[in-house]
Structure 1
Amino acid sequence: MDVARVQRRLGVRVDGAFGPVTLTALLRKLGAPAGTAGPLAGGVGSLEGAVILDSGLRLAHFLAQAAHETMGFSRMIEIWGPTPAQRRYEGRKDLGNVQPGDGFRYRGRGIPHLTGRDNYRRFGSLIGVDLEGQPGLAAEPAIAMAIGGAYWTARRINAAADRDDVEAVTRLVNGGLTGIDDRRRHLARAKAILL
């Protein structure tokens, strides 16, 4: 990725280093609220670890998925109805939801929205945070970004992003094609800045 070119497009200091200032400006350009962009950008190191920053195309796909999952970076917690689908979280052994209240306790949080006790345990372990014991931490912006980087790596999403296959990336993130048109719109916006 030509970081200096991206920085010029964003109107930030051109130093060729993709750090929190550049990511904050990029997130703002993609619609993140001012109060969320900076704290999210504090997790930029997790994107380096996930090798997302090695490619503008990877970063565009990551940010497009993140934007959709979080309603434009404004919701780090799933809106709870509960809907019929959300009611089905309760008691789902495949998610590790084995105790009463686990469905709500381990509802979607972070980037992407993690669901289920097992995912909170697994990704918390990967990033070194007790998310199972303190699930609310998954909604904190820097931790949400770290979850996103760990999830991206664990699901091996870089290969699909490198092929520019938004449907494959979406299936790896979401399990289906929910919101594919919105994800495509976010991807086009991110590509216009990053590529």
Structure 2
Amino acid sequence: MSRLILFNKPFGVLCQFTDKGTEGSARPTLSQFVDVPGVYPAGRLDLDSEGLLLLTDDGRLQARIAEPRYKMPKTYLVQVEGDAGEESLKALREGVRLKDGLTLPAEAERIDDPTLWPRDPPVRFRKTVPDCWLKLTIREGRNRQVRRMTAAVGLPTLRLVRWAIGEWTLDGIAPGEWQDGDVGRLR
């Protein structure tokens, strides 16, 4: 039977079990949080992003979750610098032109500040520049895609939290914690 783990990746943690970076870098890795043999990440989250990371011991399930051809929705809570108006949201909903081409349309809406854990280190705020939160759902997985999309519409990302992948969510999982997930209909 396939094993699926839902992990709330903290800011600054590498999405791998060992740090193959520079000698002596001592960056935190998944091995400091998930002591389960034989599981591997299904997809990635950048070092400076937080939130839901799925790990599994099943290669086919890993591909079903991570490969763009399956277009599994990924939902992010994004704190951006600036005041997101309808024009910016419309651009995100229609697809944004990036250096590597036009993105697929995203589901995009402005939301009230979500109730999240404090980030360590905290986001740097500027008193003279407003910020707001967006909920974005994308169905592809380009490198740093959400950050590049928000920047392309004039809203640089301050904080990025992946809240959901498909039907799996972070609900009830604290940063650095994990729980077993139900493979359900993806078997």
Q: TM-score, normalised by structure 2?
A: 0.28
Q: Which has the higher helix share?
A: 1
Q: TM-score, normalised by structure 1?
A: 0.27
Q: Which has the higher strand share?
A: 2
Structure having greater relative contact order (Cα 8 Å, sep ≥ 6): 2
